[in-house]
Amino acid sequence: MKAYQLERYGKGQRLTLTNLPDPVPAAGEVLVEIHATAINQLDGKIRDGAFKPILPYKPPFILGHDLAGIVVATGPGAHRFKIGDAVYARPRDGHIGTFAERIAVAEADLAPKPVRLSMAEAASVPLVGLTAWQVLVETAGLKAGQKVLIHAGTGGVGTIAIQFAKHLGAMVATTASAANADLVRSLGADVVIDYRTQDFSELLSGYDVVLNSLDAKTLEKSLKVLKPGGKLISISGPPDPAFAKAQGLNPVLRLLFRLLSTGIRRKARRASVDYSFLFMHADGDQLAQLGALIDAGTIRPVLDRGFTFDALNDAVAYVDSGRAKGKVVVTVRRDAA
């Protein structure tokens, strides 16, 4: 099969297209022929080496965290899917590699592809959809009538999180440029803050939840909009001790993450706010529930631009530029669009 490998860590490194043997599904795995994948900021951060302490992949390895495709083989004990099923997934950490023509995936990470989506549209959903679910449901416990601020509303996570929060009955504020205000309103945003001309921390107050995906300055300012007992959840760091413990990291990394997050945790305590860092995990059952919402018309993916498989490096560079609205997808098979 053809696959893009990262030969060595380094900022802006291009991935190398190579030929590799087809994977063989192990017990509890299925082999998926990938029709489409998507690019995430996480791919660039792993390539740059930013996540080596958490995800110590050893080059060369195949990058890629999203897929939609067809089951072509099953391993021993894998019974949830059969050959020919259309599926989508975010493979679990340690078993990524969707920048390829095929991949062996734990069947627990897979879900049926939403019927109303093309392969390319479906491939855009898993990582960002699971992130939104795990922030808003698992961590925040968001309830109808609560108020949530979702930063970067036109990003991959933001476009899904806005729709999902509205489905849960929340009042949603988001930050976006004035040029993108109509887009985020069409997704369900009730309040749109133009981050170029307005200060969200001076305009918003009494919020129950903030989903932060931006820098440390934005993270700290977000404390001002939360009411006592509110929850500040960051997917861009800094990692906290609870995350380090859950990941089973060594004592040195636990101490490091404790020190890195000391400032924001202290300020959160002073504001009577709960701070937590979330690093999403694979979950086929949650993806299946998201798929049902998509097929019901409750959530729709937002795609910025599509690339062909031979232009995958260009797709990665485009996401690196920070200009994308929604998700950037790559069609591995020409009929996947």
CA distance 299 to 121: 12
CATH architecture type of domain 2-124+301-336: Alpha-Beta Complex (3.90)
CA distance 138 to 63: 27
Coil vs helix vs strand at 292: helix
Distances (CA, A) of 288 to 87, 117, 130, 184: 10, 14, 10, 25
Instruction: Provide the pLDDT for residue 323.
Output: 87
247 close to 213: Cβ distance less than 8 angstroms? no
Q: Average the pLDDT over 98-114 and give the result.
A: 98
The pair of structure tokens assigned to 184 is 């985020």
pLDDT tens digits, residue range 287-299? 999 999 999 999 9
What backbone phi and psi angles, to 5 degrees, belong to 335? -90, 15
Q: pLDDT class for 335, splitting at 50, 70, 90?
A: confident
- At the fourth CATH level, the homologous superfamily of domain 128-277 is NAD(P)-binding Rossmann-like Domain (3.40.50.720)
pLDDT tens digits, residue range 46-70? 999 999 989 999 999 999 999 999 9
Where in the chain are all domains bearing CATH 3.40.50.720?
Answer: 128-277
Give the percent of the chain with pLDDT over 70: 99
Q: Would you put residue 322 in left (φ > 0), alpha (ψ -120 to 50) or beta?
A: left
Q: Average the pLDDT over 274-281 and give the result.
A: 97
Where in the chain are all domains bearing CATH 3.90.180.10?
Answer: 2-124+301-336
Q: Is the pLDDT of residue 43 over 80?
A: yes
Strand extents, DSSP E, 42-96: 61-62, 67-74, 86-89
Q: Average the pLDDT over 133-145 and give the result.
A: 98
Q: Is the pLDDT of residue 217 over 70?
A: yes
pLDDT tens digits, residue range 247-272? 898 998 899 999 999 999 999 999 99
Taken in order 322, 41, 47, 119, the sign of the CA dihedral is negative
The pair of structure tokens assigned to 279 is 């690093």
> Which residue, chain included where needed, has tokens 């004035």?
178
Instruction: Provide the pLDDT for residue 337.
Output: 65
Could you tell me the pTM of the whole model? 0.97
> Which residue, chain included where needed, has tokens 């099953």?
74
156 close to 326: Cβ distance less than 8 angstroms? yes
Coil vs helix vs strand at 271: coil
Look over the chain and give the mean of its residue pLDDT values, rounded to a whole number: 96
Q: pLDDT class for 334, splitting at 50, 70, 90?
A: confident
Laid out side by side, the sheet with 191-194 consists of 191-194, 171-176, 147-150, 207-212, 226-234, 274-277
* DSSP label of 137: I
